[in-house]
Amino acid sequence: MDIASIALHFLCAAVAGFLIMSIFGVQALVALCSSISLARRRKHQVPAFDLALALRRIAWRTVIGFLGVAVISALMIWLTAAPGTFGYLFGMILSFLKNLNRMTPNDRKNQRRFEKMFADCYPYEDELDGDDDF
């Protein structure tokens, strides 16, 4: 292999690693690091919040994300030569570093996304108000 083909393999694998980590890994890490604390915070703010449902959904997303990354990573490492493997790992690290700030529960984007994804865990507004005004 010449230098150009090695560099091409490295760059293509780095792009693949970046995409896989962005699609599966970062989402799983955000669910694990951010959504659990947001769910607990909502339970304290709104006692009728269904914490059990939220935690089951978070666990499901985390497991699926980590399994996706693990299976695809195992295949990439097993099927590619050293430049491809190192490129793949390099892309994954870049994606992780780029999205590191998203893994905190105080990130505005995480809070808005949490509200949309877990809207069914909140009680209906009628239950909160106790009013039956129609």
pLDDT for res 106: 81
> 89 or 106, which is more confident?
89
pLDDT for res 127: 52
Res 94 pLDDT > 50:
yes
Mean pLDDT of 26-41: 88
Name which of 38-42, 63-67, 81-85, 108-112 the model is least confident about. Answer: 108-112
pLDDT for res 6: 92
Query: What's the CA gap between 16 and 22, in Å, rounded?
Result: 10
**Both ends of the chain: CA-CA distance in Å?**
74
Mean pLDDT of 111-126: 84
- With a threshold of 0.75, does the pTM exceed it? yes
Q: Residue 130's pLDDT band (boundaries 50, 70, 90)?
A: low
Mean pLDDT of 91-96: 94
How many helical (H) and strand (E) elements, i.e. helices and strands, does the chain have?
7, 0
